[in-house]
RNA sequence: GCCCGGGUAACUCAGCCUGGAUUCAGAGUGCCACCCCCCUAAGGUGGAAGUCGCAGGUUCAAAUCCUGCCUCGGGCGCCA
């Protein structure tokens, strides 16, 4: 439709003997923020220099030169320095509603990425402590980005790298060994929480007696040598950690297609480094260590292999990047990892580039930290918001709210409160710009009112309720006149495909989250100002409600949020 | 010291990429007032609340672009 505006303007300018490049004209055609100002607008400020007239005068001149509005438009009017183009909204509305109806769950999909095979890695936890709020942000983002990519036609492999070895793991193992007394997970103590408790205990003991740090190193040494007792204990505790994680993943609606384990790859990658030395990219020092000079790119120097020939974190990451590619023939590979690791990934990608390993589409999907009013979360000190506890707390809150309103079976109560709790958490974590740090204030964040996940579910349930109660059939016949709220709602649903593309291109789910809220808000305004059931336009408005419901559903799907037919 | 990223109402955040509009720089929470005759009040309506960190610059036009500064966070290991 923009072309029609363009042609109209170009013609009019021709009549006024104003010569402009097509691109320039096009760049001054914009979409007004407010529907009441039309569907397109042409700004005349920039012409004042050329035409030697005040901008509003120019607008009037151009409007005159346009003459009668072409068929596509219902109206063209000037407002100050703007020429506002109103599309024939009845036919536009009709087209949007028809399209949503026809495409349903596929509305907004496109296959722009159909040639892509993408691996998205998240949340890659350490196995020495349970998942916390930071992981919830990570998982919400990972799942949402996976769905957004799929919605745009990509094939997505959801992967997880389990950081199951290293000094931090040995800390919880040592604490268990010394003070665990053979304790086992129980109904009351989830297995990964048990492991986490010993990690906290270790930190406490270390403060009292810094000497035990040596014992941890000894333990790591034993593990690396394959000491039977140590390895068995490590296996046992890792199993507990994984069991607990799996419960949390399931509870949070996360699945993976591929699991990687650091313990299985940590020795690998040496060949890649040595190959780089042969090619003269890396430098071998006298003591045998290998390093890479990245000062050219402002990244300093980085060691790639220890003097004793053992691997470093970056070494195994190089290997894993290579392995992923080999196994899955990827065209893209994303890492959902916190912003604190930006430097690491810049170095990693630069090295891969220099090695000439044909890895395309590597990207660190960096997200900001989740902080508490008291400051940073620290697992060591136990000052974290635990994932399982938070979910449970939210469920209880939702249960209380539901019980105030309605008596339902306990099974239904469980289901609804769970869905509401997850919606609240996921929406809260996704609505904020991916790259920004965020503050989690327990009391304020755990709200079910206002700009929240439950608000969206509630709007959806209301729409559903109308459709259920009405005895009439949805009709595609357009009414004579459209009310303002009707127009707003239709145009907003029509924006959806564009939002999807934007969100896909910028890899940021917050655009969809904020769109969902705006959409639901308009629906609630519509709901309050106009009757559906019993109105003369009942059939038409049912169609409108149905479109809204569909678009909100698609939108929430992309955020990884399940819907409820009743609330 | 160097490299990233923030600083918009009391609080939490949109808007910034792609600079514009009339009375207003928007939401939510909180505060004040109002609305259940009617499709779920987890809702809607109105009000109070802002030197868009500071100072320059570019432009007909700057929250938005550029420079400097202030300030907060993160990062700069033969740790992971």
Instruction: Concatenate the DSSP letters of all residues of A263-302 into one string.
Output: HHHTTTTHHHHHHHHHTTSSEE-TTS-EEEE-GGGT--EE
- Reported ipTM: 0.94
Decide: A156 and A113 in contact? Cβ < 8 Å. Answer: no
Burial classification of residue A188, based on how many CB atoms lie within 10 Å of its CB (0-12 exposed, 13-18 middle, 19 or more buried): exposed
A297 touches strand B (CB under 7 A): no
Give residues with Cβ within 8 angstroms of A521, minimum separation 6: none
A147/B36 CA-to-C1' distance in Å: 40
Q: Is CATH 3.40.50.620 the classification given to domain A118-371?
A: yes
Decide: A108 and A500 in contact? Cβ < 8 Å. Answer: yes
Whole-number average pLDDT of chain A:
91
Decide: A451 and A482 in contact? Cβ < 8 Å. Answer: no
Strand partners, A311: A305
Which residue did the predictor score with more confidence, A360 or A474? A474
The tens digit of pLDDT for each residue in A310-369 reads 888 899 999 999 999 999 999 999 999 999 999 999 999 999 988 877 677 899 999 999
Q: CATH 3.40.50.620 in chain A: give the residue spans.
A: 118-371
A385-423 CB burial, b ≥16 within 10 A, e <16: bbbbebbebbbebbbebbeeeeeeeeeebeebbbbbbbb
Decide: A370 and A133 in contact? Cβ < 8 Å. Answer: yes
What pLDDT is recorded for position A20? 76
CA dihedral over A163, A124, A247, A421, signed as positive or negative: positive
List of A residues 429-448 with CB within 7 A of strand B: 431-433, 435-439, 441, 444, 447-448
**pLDDT at residue A50 above 80?**
no
Q: CATH 3.30.1360.70 in chain A: give the residue spans.
A: 2-87
A75 touches strand B (CB under 7 A): no
DSSP A378: -
CA dihedral over A145, A151, A154, A160, signed as positive or negative: positive
Provide the pLDDT confidence category of residue A34 given band limits of 50, 70 and 90. Answer: confident
Name the nucleotide nearest A338; use CA and C1': B74
- Compute the distance between CA of residue A25 and CA of residue A61 in angstroms, rounded to an integer: 16
A26 touches strand B (CB under 7 A): no
- Compute the distance between CA of residue A420 and CA of residue A423 in angstroms, rounded to an integer: 5
Name the nucleotide nearest A441; use CA and C1': B12
Number of H helices, E strands in chain A: 22, 14
Strand partners, A365: A336
Average pLDDT of A406-414?
93
The tens digit of pLDDT for each residue in A76-109 reads 888 888 889 988 888 888 999 999 999 999 999 9
* Domain at A2-87: CATH code: 3.30.1360.70
List of A residues 207-246 with CB within 7 A of strand B: none
Chain position carrying tokens 């635990």:
A386
Give residues with Cβ within 8 angstroms of A335, minimum separation 6: A121, A345, A363, A364, A365
A326-345 CB burial, b ≥16 within 10 A, e <16: eebebbbbbbbbbeeeeebb
Q: Where are the beta strands (DSSP E) in A176-299?
A: 258-261, 283-284, 290-293
What pLDDT is recorded for position A358? 67
* pLDDT above 90: percentage of residues in chain A: 66
A267 touches strand B (CB under 7 A): no
**pLDDT at residue A249 above 90?**
yes
């Amino acid at each position: 439709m923009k072309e029609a505006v363009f042609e109209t303007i170009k013609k009019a300018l021709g009549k006024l003997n104003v010569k402009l490049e097509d691109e320039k004209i096009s760049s001054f055609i914009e979409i007004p923020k407010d529907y009441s100002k039309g569907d397109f607008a042409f700004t005349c400020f920039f012409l004042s220099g050329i035409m030697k007239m005040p901008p509003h005068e120019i607008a009037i001149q151009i409007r005159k030169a346009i003459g009668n509005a072409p068929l596509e438009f219902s109206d063209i009017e000037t407002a100050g320095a703007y020429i506002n183009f109103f599309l024939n909204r009845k036919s536009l509305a009709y087209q949007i509603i028809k399209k949503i109806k026809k495409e349903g769950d596929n509305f907004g999909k496109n296959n722009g990425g159909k040639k892509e095979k993408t691996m998205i890695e998240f949340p890659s936890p350490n196995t020495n402590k349970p998942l916390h709020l930071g992981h919830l942000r990570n998982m919400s983002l990972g799942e949402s980005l996976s769905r957004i990519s799929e919605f745009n036609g990509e094939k997505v492999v959801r992967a997880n790298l389990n950081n199951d070895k290293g000094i931090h793991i040995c800390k919880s193992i040592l604490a268990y060994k010394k003070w665990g007394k053979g304790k086992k997970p129980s109904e009351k103590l989830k297995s990964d929480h048990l492991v986490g408790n010993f990690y906290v205990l270790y930190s406490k003991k270390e403060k009292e007696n810094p000497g035990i740090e040596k014992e941890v190193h000894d333990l790591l040494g034993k593990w690396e040598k394959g000491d039977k007792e140590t390895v068995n204990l490590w296996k046992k505790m890792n199993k507990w950690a994984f069991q607990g994680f799996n419960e949390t993943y399931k509870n949070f609606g996360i699945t993976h297609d591929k699991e990687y384990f650091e313990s299985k790859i940590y020795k690998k990658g040496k060949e890649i480094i040595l190959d780089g030395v042969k090619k003269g990219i890396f430098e071998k020092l006298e003591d045998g260590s290998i390093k890479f000079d990245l000062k050219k790119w402002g990244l300093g120097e980085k060691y790639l292999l220890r003097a004793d020939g053992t691997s470093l974190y970056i070494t195994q990451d190089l290997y894993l990047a290579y392995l992923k590619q080999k196994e899955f023939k990827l065209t893209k590979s994303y890492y959902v990892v916190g912003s604190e690791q930006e430097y690491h990934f810049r170095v990693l990608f630069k090295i891969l580039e220099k090695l000439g390993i044909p890895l395309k589409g590597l990207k660190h999907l960096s997200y900001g930290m989740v902080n508490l009013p008291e400051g940073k979360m620290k697992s060591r000190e136990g000052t974290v918001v635990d994932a399982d506890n938070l979910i449970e707390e939210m469920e209880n809150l939702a249960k209380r709210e539901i019980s105030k309103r309605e008596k339902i079976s306990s099974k239904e109560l469980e289901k609804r409160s769970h869905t509401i709790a997850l919606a609240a958490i996921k929406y809260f974590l996704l609505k904020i710009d991916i790259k920004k740090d965020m503050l989690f204030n327990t009391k304020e964040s755990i709200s079910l009112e206002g700009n929240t996940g439950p608000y969206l579910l509630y709007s959806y349930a209301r729409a559903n309720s109308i459709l259920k109660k009405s005895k009439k059939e949805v009709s595609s016949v357009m009414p004579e006149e459209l009310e303002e709220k009707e127009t707003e709602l239709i145009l907003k649903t029509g924006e959806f495909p564009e939002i999807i593309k934007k969100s896909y291109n910028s890899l940021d789910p917050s655009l969809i989250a904020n769109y969902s809220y705006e959409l639901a808000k308009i629906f609630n305004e519509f709901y309050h100002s106009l009757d559906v059931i019993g109105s003369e336009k009942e059939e038409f408005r049912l169609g409108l409600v149905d479109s809204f419901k569909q678009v909100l559903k698609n939108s929430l799907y992309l955020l990884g949020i399940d819907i409820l037919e009743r609330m």
